[in-house]
Structure 1
């Protein structure tokens, strides 16, 4: 069997790949590895997926069988679990969620006691003992129990609200909760801040989580912002660790633009650590150029917030993230936080007195064409002479005003082709040529 943990925990189709039996074994292994001298306390939250209670029951049983205590928070955003794990000094935090994935999927994310996602070595240690039958089992009075942390949402909302620089009285905000984990905390937060808030897709409905809504479909938010004449809109994904914004004109402000808006403002205040933003290879060239004009460097990593966070901590940067809206403000959080990111955007609006459209205007978005090629062995693209030569030719054709990226997918039998250029037609032509070449050379087909 391959490695169980992926770049963001364990994921699969609930009750098929991610079964209660597997979650029980995973929970017992995690309790064994993450227990401390002070005992074993796991703080547990989930999104609204229909399979959530089933998997929560399995995980709770696992921790209790190991003699630990579960602090159950119910439906709660992933970043809230990360924050609360550190706040209440739990041994670990666990989120049952598959983030932006389809409704049939679910996943297990584990945070260490410091609120950060587990490093590879700890995940490997959990996998090593996953199938052991000799792990300790509590008996009699040693059997663990479950408690409800009834004020979990209030504590988290207080934490986010503490970062707002002023009253939002008179501001009209639309929030798309994606039928997910943001449903309860969104209304609590924005009403507390004094904004007029219009919530959409705000029922905790696991049959509709992420379906034609939220950060993966911001057109719904765009229409609502225009309909209600809002100053801004924010769309979360299922576990609310991402956010995509919409300005007052209806323009979509993706994760790149959000990072640019916040970083450029922080830089003017002398508060952008290392004068650097960390993003992935997929972030738009327009962000890089806008930051460069402002005197800010862009450090790129592999795709995945895990790699962004690692580089931020290594480099000492405090702002980083992904085009998808997974933004990390390391001064305030240990992981991506959609609500915190939205608040940071609003702070810049308050401090500058500018509209969101004005703040995002300097960040040009280059046309970006993405194509996939299905292949039998995605690894063979690396170092392939003909493909490397074609990529070099495309890069020479584009010069400094374009970018080419060809990479194997980390999870699927695909080679991904990305081309950015000032002219969309040129980007489409170059990307198509590269995709066709890869398909021929690797005996694949365009997906």
Structure 2
């Protein structure tokens, strides 16, 4: 059985996030540190992304941890998966100051368990109880923790990735890397260079104002990256989000590779080498299931969120089942032989290996995938649960899945409507084999949502 979601009061799908000075304050971050330190006594690894508010919040986090007697190792600016790798090498826990793909005015905190995974819901609820009740004790002057610096630990993460591949699969390959002014500026160019690639960079100077593009690697934001790919004759371009736990790609023609196609492409590559179980959320495109089952492997679905994927992967492995790959259809891929978290650096390296092993261009591999149409929509609302509840009633006579929100199946198509775990919005995804079927299903679903909003007096902003 997949891991189930629990209701949380402060933490979302991936940690705490909010607008700096409004939703997220130094006082809150310090209390998070004190609460975490009281639950995970010992040596704690911390780090941050490049956001301008990061220095303020990392100091508050460390103050909280030190005040309850934990020793702190500050690893500096680094990708989230790098800190996760460091934590699993011998720390009681970890915490990173990051808001991932959110705009510059946001920041947040992600909590990492000793095994390198993000803290699961059950333990997060316990952590929240401590935060709200302040059920912890500040140590006296002679028992406070000690701080040390550990920026050199980042090298362990880089060598772990490059050591996963034999030889230099990137020899003769030019790759464009766009870290988006984030911490991957320190890692992905080094990783790909060590694999033998000639690396060109754009937006690779760390800057928390994100002058080149926003932290979310969107189609529009990657136009300059695409131009550099085609202009340089690169094999592909790779771009990261704000904390580099995700990676997205531009093919050699300058085309954005939709993330579900990316997931399917790498899943197919892994399934050709060995059969087993691929774990992914209900939001991942149908193309993934199509290629995995074609390769005589199977799919296990979870709620949306990398933590649910990672913990389901570990649970299945504990049961003796052959889990070979996991992740989400948003560029966040998990390679269990490396670690149980989304890792943009490993994803970039895997693409180098994939292209080297097939001898084909990225565009050719993408065009060989089964064609599907995906339509994505979002609705700004504070009433997501009520709207989704009305949809469940409206489609109760059809085949639905309630793993996360409501997923409606119809004639080879499906529609997923779920509340975001990081923003006050509802996300709508339509996946269909034909464009016209997808558009018709999309129109129907949006009309149904509009009726639910109008009839129930629910406030929402429909982006039609």
Q: 2:243 maps to which residue?
A: 239
- Equivalent residues in 2 for 1:296-307 (5 A)? 296-307=297-308
Distance of 1:327 and 1:335 partners within structure 2: 8
How many angstroms does 1:15 deviate by?
A: 2.2
- 1:166 aligned onto 2:167: yes
Determine whether 1:10 maps to 2:19.
Answer: no
Cα pair distance change 1:84/1:363, threshold 3 Å: same
Between the aligned partners of 1:150 and 1:207, the Cα distance in structure 2 is 23
C-alpha separation between the residues in 2 aligned to 1:286 and 1:22? 42
Aligned runs of 1:362-441 on 2, under 5 Å?
362-373=368-379, 377-380=383-386, 381-382=388-389, 384=391, 387-388=394-395, 399-400=411-412, 402-410=413-421, 414-441=425-452
Q: Give 1:143's aligned residue.
A: 144
Q: Is the 8 A contact 2:100 2:215 kept in 1?
A: no
Structure ranking higher on relative contact order (CA contacts 8 Å, 6+ apart): 2
Q: In the alignment, is residue 55 of structure 1 matched against residue 57 of structure 2?
A: yes
Sort the Cα spacing of 1:375 and 1:21 in 2 relative to 1 into closer, same or farther, 3 A. closer
Q: State the Cα deviation string for residues 314-334 of structure 1 (Å, max 9, x = none).
A: 333231111210000111112
Aligned-residue offset at 1:68? 1.8
State which of 181, 206, 220 in structure 2 corresponds to 1:204. Answer: 206
Q: 1: distance between equivalents of 2:67 and 2:363?
A: 54
Match runs of 1:210-249 below 5 Å: 211-212=213-214, 215-216=217-218, 217-249=221-253
1:183 aligns with one of 170, 182, 185 = 185
TM-score w.r.t. length of structure 1:
0.90
Indicate if the aligned counterparts of 1:387 and 1:438 stay in contact, CA closer than 8 A.
no
1:58-137 equivalences under 5 Å are 58-87=60-89, 89-132=90-133, 135-137=136-138
1:96 Cα offset (Å) = 0.5
- Aligned counterpart in structure 2 of residue 324 of structure 1, from 323, 330, 336: 330
Secondary structure at the counterpart of residue 8 of structure 1 = coil
CA distance in 2, matches of 1:63, 1:415: 35
8 Å CA contact 2:24–2:107 kept in 1: the answer is yes
Q: Secondary structure at the match of 1:349?
A: helix
Kindly indicate whether the alpha-carbon contact (under 8 Å) linking 2:203 and 2:212 is maintained by their aligned counterparts in 1.
Answer: no
Gaps of at least 5 residues in structure 1 are none
Partner of 1:41: 43
CA distance in 2, matches of 1:346, 1:64: 42
2: distance between equivalents of 1:153 and 1:388?
Answer: 50
Write the distance in 2 (CA, Å) between the matches of 1:30 and 1:99. 20
Q: 1:213 to 1:226 in 2, by over 3 A?
A: farther
Residue 75 (structure 1) shift: 0.6
SS in structure 2 opposite 1:152?
Answer: helix
Q: What is the match of residue 403 of structure 2?
A: none
Question: Residue 174 of structure 2 contacts residue 234 of structure 2 at CA under 8 Å; is this kept in 1?
Answer: yes
Asked whether the 8 Å contact 1:11–1:107 carries over to 2, the reply is yes
In 1, are the aligned partners of 2:191 and 2:349 still within 8 Å (CA)? no
Q: Shift of residue 193 of structure 1?
A: 2.5
CA apart distance, 1:409: 4.1
1:27-71 CA distance string (max 9 Å, x none): 111101111xxxx21111110000000001111111121222111
Q: Shift in Å at residue 82 of structure 1?
A: 0.5
- Displacement of 1:125 after TM fit? 2.0
Change (3 A) 1:225 1:238: same
User: Given the superposition, is the C-alpha separation of residues 160 and 403 from structure 1 closer, same or farther in structure 2, using an over 3 Å criterion?
Assistant: same
The secondary structure found in structure 2 opposite 1:54 is helix
1:353 to 342, 356, 359: 359
SS in 2 for 1:140: coil
CA contact (8 A) 1:242 1:325 kept: yes
**Cα distance in 1 for residues equivalent to 2:408 and 2:187:** 49
Q: 1:283 to 1:133 in 2, by over 3 A?
A: closer
What is the CA deviation profile of residues 147-190 of structure 1, one whole-angstrom value per residue up to 9, with x for unaligned ones?
Answer: 11131222221111111232122110111001011111223222
Q: Is the 8 A contact 2:13 2:422 kept in 1?
A: no
Q: 1:242 to 1:376 in 2, by over 3 A?
A: closer
Q: Alignment length, in residue pairs?
A: 437
Per-residue deviation, residues 55-101 of structure 1 (Å, max 9, x unmatched)? 011111111212221111111000010111122x1111111100011
Q: What are the superposed Cα offsets for residues 120-157 of structure 1, whole Å, 9 maximum, x if unpaired? A: 22222222222556733333332222111131222221
Q: Distance in 2 between the 1:20 and 1:396 partners?
A: 42
- Secondary structure at 1:311's aligned position in 2? helix
Q: Distance in 2 between matches of 1:31 and 1:209?
A: 36
Separation (CA, whole Å) in 2 of partners of 1:174 and 1:200: 7
State the shift of 1:422 in Å. 3.3
Tell me the alpha carbon deviations over residues 308-349 of structure 1, each in whole angstroms, 9 at most, x when there is no partner: 223322333231111210000111112100011111121122
The reply on whether 1:269 has 2:280 as its aligned counterpart is no
Superposition RMSD on alpha carbons, in Å? 2.6
Q: Which moved more, 1:360-369 or 1:381-390?
A: 381-390
